[in-house]
């Protein structure tokens, strides 16, 4: 055994002893702190693994329901509310209250009040359906985001906190997509299979 090997051989027990001594002499408070840090790190990793598909589906449903119910308040003769069990399948027409709102309260520039009411009501029915189905999701979310911006800037500027939440969900859907629980995903897989590409 040469001198270098002997020195290494004699150093290992000392290093091991120092390490075990530091563990033995760690205070209860230090051990508690280390345990808390380890617990927070483990919880953070668990939260980072939350599946995105149900989150996207919840966002789509929530925003779709919000705008759909708003659109329902503007029409007469047609009603579809699964939660309240309210169904009416007549020919939809613009309600008198909607005409009054767009004439007296909303007053959008450059648009006739009736035209503005018809456009808003149509969008509040068509875009939520697309969003709920996950069909053309990014474009439907963009349309609702534009509506949100118009409402914020021209109608209810003090409701920025509420509109900020809407915008955050819509921007997330535009950036991340609708998830696998959507027609967009099924169509993407179908087109990929037609082109011979991996889904």
- Whether 101 and 25 share a structural domain: no
Q: Establish if 197 belongs to a structural domain.
A: no
Q: Which domain holds residue 35?
A: 3-48
- Whether 58 and 150 share a structural domain: yes
- Looking at the 3D structure of the chain, how many domains does it have? 2
Which segments of the chain have a pLDDT < 50?
8, 15, 17-19, 21
Q: Summarize the chain as % helix, strand, coil (round to 5).
A: 75, 10, 20
Q: Establish if 195 belongs to a structural domain.
A: no
End-of-domain residue from the set 16, 33, 48 = 48
Q: Establish if 180 belongs to a structural domain.
A: yes
- Whether 113 and 129 share a structural domain: yes
Predicted pLDDT of residue 8: 47
Give the length of the chain.
199
Predicted TM-score (pTM) of this structure:
0.79
- Whether 101 and 13 share a structural domain: no
Q: Establish if 92 belongs to a structural domain.
A: yes
- Whether 150 and 93 share a structural domain: yes
Predicted pLDDT of residue 179: 95
Q: Which residues contact 134 (CB under 8 A, 6 or more apart)?
A: 60, 178, 179, 181, 182, 183, 184, 185
Show the tokens assigned to 187.
């169509």
- Whether 75 and 167 share a structural domain: yes
Predicted pLDDT of residue 103: 93
């Amino acid at each position: 055994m040469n001198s270098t090997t002997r020195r290494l051989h004699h150093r290992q027990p000392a290093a091991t002893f120092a390490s075990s001594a530091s563990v033995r002499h760690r205070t209860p408070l230090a051990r508690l702190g280390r345990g808390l840090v380890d617990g927070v790190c483990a919880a953070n990793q668990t939260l980072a693994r939350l599946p995105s598909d149900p989150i996207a589906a919840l966002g789509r449903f929530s925003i779709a329901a919000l705008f759909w119910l708003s659109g329902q308040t503007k029409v007469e003769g047609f009603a579809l509310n699964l939660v309240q069990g309210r169904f009416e399948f007549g020919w939809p027409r613009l309600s008198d209250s909607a005409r009054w709102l767009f004439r007296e309260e909303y007053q959008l520039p450059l648009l006739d009040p009736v035209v503005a009411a018809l456009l808003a009501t149509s969008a509040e029915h068509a875009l939520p359906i697309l969003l709920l189905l996950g069909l053309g999701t990014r474009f439907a979310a963009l349309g609702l985001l534009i509506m949100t911006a118009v409402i914020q800037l021209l109608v209810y500027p003090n409701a920025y906190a509420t509109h900020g939440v809407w915008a955050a969900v819509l921007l997330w859907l535009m950036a991340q997509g609708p998830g696998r629980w959507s027609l967009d995903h099924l169509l993407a897989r179908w087109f990929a299979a037609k082109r011979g590409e991996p889904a």
